[in-house]
Chains A and B, each alone.
Chain A
């Protein structure tokens, strides 16, 4: 009763004072809760009152308690209980519990014999679980059991087959092992072992999927399932271990043993455990302490683990990375500086510092130089490696720094705030080139550095050097050619561009650059009145031009129109008129050619009298509005807008064309014509609103399911309200997408998919004021509203900034395009 007294809970009376009914009720309730310890106290009292009636229940309760103890590893206590059962009722001990006790005590044969005595003759029925338990006990005894041979020869035969099969597996005789399994019946208590051995054979012959299938069929919580688990872990090497496994280091030890790497069994499980606790540096220290030859640069497991530990920092958050760095440094402090450990460590630290702008530039430079010293001490001199390190330093110092940390949130264009450290970047690149002067990448990187820094003199010198060193590099030639054209060294520039185009005649970009160079040079020489030069250049350009009216840079008719304009500029009015008349006639009087001649003529600064005739023709065109003509004219003005600086006459021309296109909307229109007009109108932002609305409505009235015009309508609606995208927007786009897919509009499908991804990213971002927590807190609600207002105001301001910056951007881009046609004034 001692235990009862100890465990007595408040309100419980001693069993003696309780009636039999109450004791029975309490017993039932405790047994239901598997509280055998308390139940046995009530049963003991009941046995005193009626031993015959209650003894079987007490024995059952003791057996339950013993099993519980065995599960907790209390083998000594379980043995006392079994002795007590024997004292009370002879052989009423649960054979499986007793066998389990023997197994835990390492007496496998005794465990097997207990079960054979009880079930081995085959007369007593066995349920599946008990049968499996007996089979396990018999196999792991791994000794001859004469008792079984006498009692149940059939079972004995199957047991022998299992053991022989296991022996064959261990000796690598997998076919023999599989033939041995044929002696085991499918319904046998050894059926699980049959499956396990099949799994082993598949595992060792590399048939992982079959092995996995066999092992997974072994179920849970049995000897075989525990034995199969490490094999499954090896097969599914990328599956994360469950939390239960994490605390069970034996699983990892077993994996090491299965892989015949017992030495790892002491190092890895603990290292894994510490890593999972996020004690990363401790995990490293444990491996460094327990694993010989770690870290290592030689191929092998030690090298793999070295890569793991020294590259892991790149995947940690900054706080953890700092801690990890300090932790490993303190482990290494005791080591020799010239060791591989330090080499790995400095490399890891330096790569971590790559993305840490807090490290001062000179310190950062020093850290890499320290690495080079360690490398030299360990491996000796390697100039190519030094060159790469300096090139890397150059890359880091040449990084453009971003002054607007919130740019990514509001999709603002990043503002250039300059290079991190121009001098150090230049020095580093130069050092790299001193060590490996033929590294073209580094030459090009310095060139880019000069370009970003706007140092034209150094840029041009470098480009000349690159061309000298790499005469067959078409990109460098083209780049140099374009720079020469920019600084009006036309002959030199054309020479470079010709060489670039000759190196790869199929490269359209280079051909286009050369053509533009001819045009620019011709414009220059036409102004000087050097007829031969511009005629020669334009002759070459026309020769390399393309037929058709699609490309206004390379299209032969457009080049001929330009030659006519240059004749006008060069003072040969008649020749110009003749040429233009020929081109327009040969081009079937296409409106685009006349309008192109008129607009480009004005952009190039052609004398007014030369254009008067042309102007009359254009005025005539504008008197008769049709969507087809409007679409053609928009193509021309869009191109000229790209190449010309903004000027009042061009602005007026836009207004005139807008009015014309709007009037034309009353006439019948094809979707292709409408598309051209809408694209033109969208570029003009507010000025083109009416045109967009008008043409989109017109086409949708004809075809309400036209995906492109539905998309235009969507974009137009979105541009009217500057607000974050909503679920409705997403749904609307998805509907348009399905129409586009239906009509096989591949380009539109891609565009909508991109837009959808943006919306989904935006919707997945949760703003602070959208958080329910904020909404629930009444005290904070006012502040939350204020914050919302502030945010909305900020967004509004940003919109204004964005609009003005986009206007600025357009002007800048126009200016850039105009650089092809400089001296327009």
Chain B
């Protein structure tokens, strides 16, 4: 995943802002409470902690956010926004489509 997205930052964020967010996140997801999240956050921070790292990541990063476009989409969404419910009309349409298929 994109480190900026993991940390919830804009690529224009400076070193101080990145460090601040990192410390905040590490407090919330410590290695004891959520080791997986901690690993993800630390890995992301290492990639963007200073200008040199950020440029290096921009130039040479080869990671893909998934194996297929759809997986990349789902991962992106899962990291970003909590899904909001469809409105009632959309729900009706959705259920009727399921009835027809």
Contact = CB atoms under 8 A, between A and B. Distances in A.
Contact of B99 (A103, A299, A351): A103
B55 to A, nearest CB: 5
Interface residues of A, number: 69
A88 interface: no
Contacts, number: 153
Contacts of A550: none
Interface stretch (A165-173, A496-504, A726-734): A165-173
B39 interface: no
Contacts of A170: 85-88, 90-91
A303 interface: yes
B84 A237 contact: no
A374 interface: no
A136 B94 CA distance: 13
A297 B5 CA distance: 12
Contacts of A140: 92, 95-96, 99
Interface string A141-174: 0100000000000000000000000110111100
Interface residues of B, number: 48
Given A260-B83, A351-B60, A234 B78 contact: yes
A167 B76 contact: no
A388 B92 contact: no
Interface stretch (A269-277, A406-414, A516-524): A269-277
Interface of A is mostly: helix
A234 B94 CA distance: 16
B69 A271 contact: yes
A269 B99 CA distance: 21
A818 interface: no
Contacts of A271: 69-70
Contacts of B91: 166, 169-170
A287 interface: yes
A298 B11 CA distance: 8
B72 A139 contact: no
Given A166-B88, A258-B83, A351-B60, A264 B73 contact: yes
B64 A311 contact: yes
A252 interface: yes
A233 B51 CA distance: 38
B43 to A, nearest CB: 15
Interface in B55-101: 55-56, 58-78, 82-88, 90-92, 94-101
A626 B78 CA distance: 71
A260 B66 contact: no
Contacts of A136: 99
B85 A172 contact: yes
A136 B97 CA distance: 12
Interface string A217-249: 000000110110000011001101100000000
B10 interface: yes
Nearest to A173: B85
A314 interface: yes
A301 interface: yes
A385 B77 contact: no
B24 interface: no
Contact of A260 (B69, B74, B86, B95): B86
A171 B71 CA distance: 28
B59 A312 contact: no
A305 B76 CA distance: 9
B33 interface: no
A392 B94 contact: no
A42 interface: no
Given A223-B98, A297-B11, A385-B55, A268 B61 contact: no
A299 B4 contact: yes
B10, B66, B95, B96 pick with most chain A CB within 10 angstroms? B95
Contacts of B2: 299, 303-304, 307
Nearest to A262: B90
A237 B75 contact: yes
Contact of A104 (B62, B71, B90, B100): B100
A275 to B, nearest CB: 5
A283 interface: yes
Contacts of B71: 237-238
A308 interface: yes
A314 B62 contact: yes
Contacts of B11: 297-299
B10 A299 contact: yes
A801 B88 CA distance: 78
Interface string A305-317: 1011101101100
A254 interface: yes
B95 A223 contact: yes
Nearest to B10: A299
Contacts of B101: 226, 250
A301 B73 contact: yes
A757 interface: no
6 contacts: A238-B75, A240-B67, A258-B94, A260-B84, A307-B72, A392-B59
The 10 A-B residue pairs with the shortest CB-CB distance, nearest first, are A237-B74, A308-B72, A304-B76, A314-B62, A272-B70, A227-B98, A226-B98, A170-B88, A311-B64, A140-B99
Interface of A: 103-104, 106, 108, 136-137, 139-140, 142, 166-167, 169-172, 200, 203-204, 206, 223-224, 226-227, 233-234, 237-238, 240-241, 250, 252, 254-255, 257-261, 264, 268-269, 271-272, 275-276, 283, 287, 297-299, 301, 303-305, 307-309, 311-312, 314-315, 347, 351, 382, 384-385, 388-389, 392
Given A283-B69, A301-B73, 14 more contacts: A103-B100, A140-B96, A169-B85, A172-B84, A204-B84, A254-B98, A287-B69, A299-B4, A304-B73, A305-B73, A307-B61, A314-B62, A351-B60, A384-B51
